[in-house]
Amino acid sequence: MSTDKHDAAGYWKANVRIIMTCLIVWAICSYGFAIILRPALAGIQIGGSDLGFWFGQQGSILTFIAIIFFYSWRMNKLDEEYGVHEE
C-alpha cells in the first residue's frame, strides 16, 4: 500500500498514535498493575512472589523491552507505507 510521499501530516499523526499507544500500555503496566492494582494482584502467585510485586520488579521492564521492539517493527512498516524508509 503506497501512500503519497509528501503526506507529512498523515505520517506524523500515525507516528504520534503509535507513540501514545505505547505510552498507554507502558503506564498501565508499570503504574496500574505495579502500584494501583497491586493489592488486587497480591493473591496471584508467579515466580515465587505475587503478581503485583512481579510487575513492579520484572514485568514492567519486560513490557518496556517488548514495547521497544513493537515500536521499531511498527515504525519500519509505517516508513515503508509512507515511502520514507531507509534503503
> Other C-beta atoms within 10 Å of 34: how many?
20
Gap between the Cα atoms of 3 and 79, Å rounded:
10
| pLDDT classification of 85: cutoffs 50, 70, 90 | confident
CA dist 4 to 1, 19, 64, 73, 81, Å?
Answer: 10, 22, 32, 21, 9
pTM above the 0.85 mark? no
Q: Where along the chain do its domains lie? A: 26-82
Q: What is the pLDDT of residues 45-76, one digit of tens each?
A: 887 888 888 888 888 899 999 999 999 999 99
Half-sphere exposure of 73 (CA within 13 A, CB side): 7
